[in-house]
A and B are shown apart, each in its own frame.
Chain A
């Protein structure tokens, strides 16, 4: 007589064998292995505009100012103005349609989630993924506060990182309209064509081309 325990074991065994056969059939090559949840958690660090992927954490601009001063200001300046050739982080509003557009987090970046995602994955430069989740939210809060996007007391967290509206949120055009020069399936002119013929600029005169030494 087969006990319930043994029967259950037997059924489970048959089911498992059956499923692995199905899996083997689906997995045409049987290469690689399944990833564990823990492995994925360690590497899956991306955060989407809707906040999906944001890890638990919270931070405001007061704490952010301190972390920023220690970890960011050396390159980006105390107020995001940029040191030497390092990027400005704040400013440039109303410059995007001008002669010298300044693209910063406050003037150009369309999503706050991208700030979190990028700072956590790549900053400080050369010390990637060394910030804690809270420190990252704090820095994001400080930058958003400096950019006049949130109030000083606002708590940025995984709950609202996908809801903060950035000033240039609607500044981007989709889909790609190219080809946009109207030159498709035409027979281009080959003889006596209209063409600009005056030399209006010479790179040699600008004199910014690197030269080989020696």
Chain B
């Protein structure tokens, strides 16, 4: 039996980070997105090339795809984080997105046993346990219930998990990108459960996925009846396979692991089920070796998406600082931005609609004349909660928590316009 000490796979320290870099060898300084070479022949007063011939007709792409010049806007992963792609995660390119809607094909993926491929005709949702009637629903049954449409963010509890000890990954995508925000269409569990009834003793709901991980989470009944949904559509079209096609659970404002994809069964019981995902994972280890359990809500957080390591500043003069803010407890009330590492703050402009448990876009115009900047954003939600610094979180929780790092990040804008993820102390 071995008793060697090995660090967590998700949370590597500086020494290990360096050895990981050596192991993979090819990793270098993060590149900025290069501006395409300009062809002078397309510029005034010349006739641009694309004006001189007929373009593609309709139906060249029956399902449209982004411009070929946007091919850098893709999900990316960090290979050294996990042992296998089937149980892994990638990241949403939030630095390249506008507004608050995440396009379906860019929503980050987190799988525990790969993507299940489910024929919608073979799909069944079973509801059993402490209900008046144990029942089975087809997808068509679900779509006949009263419909609800809601925008919600989904954030992985481990978003920013690599940054507890220090600035580690030099990218907005890698440090804040385990989040997406879409409009869901589905049935509220409050409506669906009118059909099965719930016995008075039912206090907890177990949600179970139909994938090869059979992922399971326990959810208290108050939350289930408050705003949870079974959904079959995102942003107006069927769920993508990697987001749980044909149906998934939506648990607004709570950690993404609970939003069970490919949901096949829900069971009601009088106590929690304490599954692998809510004991050995998704518990928050503290300094003294004890761990917090059932830390569900995603607290208020924000990120500056531009400038950011992937979005350097290329010109002096006017720029629009852009970012996103969100809170699992409700609506964003205010976002402040600092350009000097937190010494002075300016309130940013919020772009509506401002919805509860939904990403909120903010901007701030600023003039840049080539000086170094330390840029930060600080979200405040409608409960009055103020996004904390990393030191405030570390003081209470230590550095081995992995989950629920909602601290203020810092980007250093260098005098040449490149941007770095840095830690202040």
Residues of A within 8 A of B (CB): 23, 26-29, 31-35, 39-40, 43-46, 48-50, 52, 77, 79-82, 84-88, 90-93, 95-103, 105, 108-111, 113-114, 117-118, 121-122, 125-126, 128-129, 146, 171-186, 188-193, 195-204, 206-212
When the two chains form their complex, are residues A208 and B422 in contact, meaning their CB atoms are under 8 A apart? no
Q: Closest Cβ of chain A: how far from B422's Cβ, in Å?
A: 5
B-chain residues with CB within 8 Å of residue A99 when the two chains form the complex = 7, 13
Q: What are the 8 tightest A-B residue pairs by CB atom distance, in nearest-first order? A: A97-B289, A195-B342, A85-B83, A96-B289, A185-B384, A100-B7, A203-B170, A200-B425
Are A209 and B27 in contact (CB-based, < 8 A)? yes
A27-B133, A102-B6 known; A48 vs B274 contact (CB < 8 Å): yes
Q: In the assembled complex, which residues on chain A have CB atoms less than 8 Å from the CB atom of B420? A: 202-204
Q: List the B residue with the shortest CB-CB distance to A106.
A: B1
Interface centre among A79, A98, A114, A178 (most CB of B within 10 A): A178
Knowing A29-B195, A201-B166, the reply to whether A188 touches B336 (Cβ < 8 A) is yes
| A95 CA / B292 CA spacing, docked (Å) | 17
Quick one: given A121-B216, A202-B412, are A208 and B28 in contact (CB under 8 Å)? no
- Asked if B393 and A188 make an inter-chain contact with CB atoms under 8 angstroms apart, the answer reads no
Q: How far is the CB of B302 from chain A (nearest CB, A)?
A: 13
Chain A: which residue is nearest B281 at the CB level?
Answer: A103
Give me the interface of B with A, judged by CB distance under 8 Å. 1-9, 12-14, 17-18, 20-21, 26-31, 72, 76-80, 82-84, 86-87, 112-114, 126-128, 132-138, 141, 144-145, 166-171, 174-175, 194-195, 197, 206, 208, 212-214, 216, 264-265, 267, 269, 271, 273-276, 279-280, 283, 285-297, 299, 309, 336, 338, 341-345, 374, 378, 380, 383-386, 388-389, 391-393, 396-397, 400, 404, 412, 420-425
Residues of A within 8 A of B421 (CB): 202-204
Q: B422 contacts A199, CB within 8 Å?
A: yes
- Residues from chain B with a CB closer than 8 A to the CB of A97 are 287-289
Do the beta carbons of B145 and A202 come within 8 Å of each other? no
Chain A residues positioned under 8 Å from B393 (CB to CB):
181
CA distance A28 to B194 in the complex (A): 7
CA A96 – CA B291 in complex, angstroms?
Answer: 9
Cα distance A156–B61 in the bound complex, in angstroms: 58
Q: Which residues of A contact B4 (CB under 8 A)?
A: 81, 91, 102
Contact B283 A172 (CB under 8 A): yes
State how many angstroms separate the Cβ of B360 from the closest Cβ of chain A: 18
The reply to whether A181 and B134 form a contact with Cβ atoms under 8 Å apart is: no
A-B contact list, 14 entries, CB within 8 Å:
A32-B137, A39-B126, A84-B83, A100-B5, A102-B8, A103-B8, A125-B87, A146-B1, A173-B291, A191-B345, A193-B343, A201-B425, A202-B167, A203-B167
The answer on a CB contact under 8 Å between A188 and B423 is no
Q: From B287, which residue of chain A is reached at the shortest CB distance?
A: A97
When distances are taken between beta carbons in the complex, the residues of chain A under 8 Å from B389 are 196
Q: Which residues of A contact B214 (CB under 8 A)?
A: 45, 121-122, 128-129
Give A185 to B385 CA distance when docked, in angstroms: 6
Q: How far is the CA of A200 from the CA of B423 in the complex (A)?
A: 6
- B27:A210 contact, CB within 8 angstroms: yes
* A28-B194, A202-B421, A204-B29 given; A183·B8 CB < 8 A: no
Q: How far is the CB of A16 from chain B (nearest CB, A)?
A: 16
B80 / chain A contacts, CB cutoff of 8 Å: 208
